[in-house]
Structure 1
C-alpha cells in the first residue's frame, strides 16, 4: 500500500524515528499486544555511529524486549577498561560496574529490534517536519516533508537530538560541547591481538578510544576540539575525508597501531558528529508530555558519550513507556483510542512514564555533563575543582548508574 492511500488513514500510535529507541519502543508495545507504526525518514533501517556500548542496565532492558540472547552472539563481553594519559605517562583502570558490558555494532542492534517487529510496522521515507495539535480533536497531525499529512491519536517522538516532537513540546534545544567525534569500525580478517577491554588514550586534548566487538572487529573513536570550518562541514559528508582528518589531525602523536587501525577502517562505518547534550537543569523542569504526545531517547535526554549510557537509557525509556501505556491501554481496541476516556488514560500513562524517568535521566545527564566538562579542551583549574567536588558529593559510587533496573514489561 502506498502512502497516497495511507494519507487518509488515522493511526492509533505513531512513533517518529526508526533508530534504536524508536524501534525498541515499538517492540515494547508489540510485546504487550499494542500495535504501533514507526515513521522513519530514511529508505531503510539506519544505524549511524558504527557501534554502541551496552552496560548491564541496558542488557536488562534488552532482556525485557526479548532480543538479548541473539545479540550476545554478535559481541564478546569486555573484561575491563583503561585510561592512558600519554602526556603524563600514566595509566588507570576504568571500572565497568557490575554485570556484563559489550560493544555492539549498531546495525546488529537495530536489525535485531526491527526483525522482531511485525511486517509493515516501519514506514520508510517519512520525514516529519511539523506537528499540529488541534484544540478541538486533540488528535495530533504530523506534516511530512513531501506535503503529506498523517492523523494519529498518540505520538512518541524518538527522532533524536534535533527532534521535531521535542520542539512541539517546547523543550529547549540541545546544546553543544566544544568537541566532535569521529567513529568507525576496523575489520581484522585474521583476527586482532587486542585484549577485550575498552581503552581510552589522551594526548594534547585529543582522545582516541578502542573497543573490541569480537575477535575480528574493533570499534574506535576520536574525540577532539570541534570546528565549524568549511573543511569540517565537508568532512562530515565524505567518509574518505573523515578518515584522513582522523589520521592526520588526531592521531599523529599516538601509537602507530592506532593510526594503522584508522587507516584500515571500513569507509561505510565512518561518521563525524558534534557532541550534543540537554542540560540537566533543563531536564529537571522540562515538559515531556502535552496531550497524548511525549518523547523518548535522545529526543528527551541526548547526552555526551562519556558514561556510555545514551543508548542504554533509550532502551530503558522504551521498556518503561511500554509498561506504562500497556497498563492503561491493555485490552482497549485500537479503534477506540480517540475516545476522550481512553485519551485520558493515555495521558495518565505518559505522566507515569515521565515521573519514573525524569530523575533517572537528570542524574545520568548530570554525571555525563560533569564528566564531559573534564574532557573539554584545556578546562580551567576552577572548572576541574568544581567538577571533581560535585562528582564526589553527588556520585560517591561513580558506577551506580549501571546498577539501575528499569524493570520488566
Structure 2
C-alpha cells in the first residue's frame, strides 16, 4: 500500500458512511456547512435488508429533502396484526395511525442520501487507526491506515457500536442482549398477494415481523433468544437461513416459505447505547428501538444545533480557534441535552422488548404492563417530532 504523509484540515469530519453518517452530512449540507465523511469500505455500504420508518423517521427524511423520493419506493402500512403461534384465532388488529409506516430497502435509503451530497463529501477506503485530541485547541487529528492525517475542528462519530469516537470519549462498550435478529427481503416476481399490514407473530422466545415493501417484495425479521455459538457461521447466509427456518418450524407454512425463498439473510446482535457529546466531538446514531429513525432525528438536531452557533460554516469562519472551540462545545452540549431524554426513553423500551422475549411468563406480564402503561406502548415514540433543520 502506498503511504501518504500529507495532512488536511477540515471544519467537520464524520466517521462512518452508513445511514447515520450520510444523513448527518446531508443535514449539515442543507444548512450550508461543509463536512467530510470517512467511510471504511471502498464503496457505499448499501447492502442489507430494509428498514420500517414511522412518522418520526419520515419527518426527518422530509427535512433532509429525500422523503418524497423514498415514499415512491414504498407502500403505506396503516395496521399491525398481532398473532401468537400457539393460539388459534385472528389475533389483534392495531391501527398505526393516519401516517402509518413505510418500509424501504436500505440500498434505496443510502443511495438517496449519498446522491444528495456533493461527490467530494465522501471519502472511501479510510481505515482509521487512531484519534488524538489537541489539549490546547480541543481539535482532533484522525490518523488513517495509509499514513495520512485529517485534522478537524469538530469530529462526529457515526461508526456504530464499535465506534472509534466512542472509545475516544471513554464510553463503555454497548450492552448486548441475548437476542439476535435475522432479517432479509424476499422477492415474489409474480406478486406476494399480501394485504398491506405489519404482521407481528409471537412464539416461544421468538418474534417474527413481516412488512410489504411494494407489490413484489417483503421485508421480514426474526428476533430470537440464542446462544452466540449457534451463529458462529453467521457470515454464511445459508446457515442463517437454515437456522431461522428451523426456529420457525411451528409457524404458518407461508411464513416458513417466505424465509426459504430469500437469498441473503443478515444477522446482527441487539444492542443498547447512548448518544452523547463533549468538547468538540460527539456521537450520532443509536442502537435503540427504531435505531435508523433515531439516527435521522440525530442528524436533523445536530445540524440545527451546529448551524445556530456556526451560521456561516466552520470552514469559511474567520473566528479564532478559541472561539470556534467555545461555540462548537456549546452546540454539541445543546445537542446532547436535547437528545438525552429521547434516547433514555428509547433505551428503556429497547431493554424491555429484549427482556420480554427472554423472560419467564410472570416477568413478561410485568414488563408488558411497564411497557404499555408507563412507557406509552408500541407507537408513542413514533409520533415524536425532532423539529426543523
User: For the superposition of Structure 1 and Structure 2, which TM-score range results when normalised by the shorter chain?
Assistant: over 0.9
- Between 349-358 and 363-372, report the one with greater CA deviation: 363-372
1:190-221 CA-partner distances (Å, limit 9, x unpaired): 11111111112222322222110000011111
Partner of 2:30: 31
Partner of 2:386: 406
Quick one: structure 1 residues 39 and 188, their matched pair in 2 at CA, closer, same or farther if it must change by over 3 Å? same
**Contact persistence 1:213–1:219 (CA under 8 A):** yes
Q: Partner of 2:42: helix, strand, or coil?
A: coil
Q: Partner of 1:383: helix, strand, or coil?
A: helix
Quick one: structure 1 residues 338 and 365, their matched pair in 2 at CA, closer, same or farther if it must change by over 3 Å? farther
Correspondent of 2:248 among 230, 246, 251: 251
Correspondent of 1:276 among 271, 279, 288: 271
Partner of 1:119: 119
Partner of 2:205: 205
Partner of 2:288: 303
Partner of 2:332: 350
TM-score of the superposed pair, with normalisation by structure 2 = 0.93
1:305-333 CA-partner distances (Å, limit 9, x unpaired): xxxx2111110110010011011111245
Determine the C-alpha separation between the residues in 2 that align with 1:406 and 1:399.
16
Alignment gaps of 5+ in structure 2? none
- Between 322-331 and 360-369, report the one with greater CA deviation: 360-369
Partner of 2:302: 321
Quick one: structure 1 residues 97 and 163, their matched pair in 2 at CA, closer, same or farther if it must change by over 3 Å? farther
1:77-107 CA-partner distances (Å, limit 9, x unpaired): 1121112111133512244245231001011
Q: Write out aligned runs for 1:169-208 (5 A).
A: 169-208=169-208
Partner of 1:237: 235
TM-score of the superposed pair, with normalisation by structure 1 = 0.89
Determine the C-alpha separation between the residues in 2 that align with 1:250 and 1:380.
19
Q: CA RMSD in A?
A: 2.0
Determine the C-alpha separation between the residues in 2 that align with 1:387 and 1:100.
26
Determine the C-alpha separation between the residues in 2 that align with 1:81 and 1:164.
38
Quick one: structure 1 residues 396 and 224, their matched pair in 2 at CA, closer, same or farther if it must change by over 3 Å? closer
Determine the C-alpha separation between the residues in 2 that align with 1:210 and 1:403.
21
Determine the C-alpha separation between the residues in 2 that align with 1:200 and 1:146.
47
Alignment gaps of 5+ in structure 1? none
1:49-75 CA-partner distances (Å, limit 9, x unpaired): 400011011111111000001111100
Determine the C-alpha separation between the residues in 1 that align with 2:20 and 2:206.
30
Determine the C-alpha separation between the residues in 2 that align with 1:315 and 1:3.
36
1:205-254 CA-partner distances (Å, limit 9, x unpaired): 2222211000001111122122222x5122x211222222222x222221
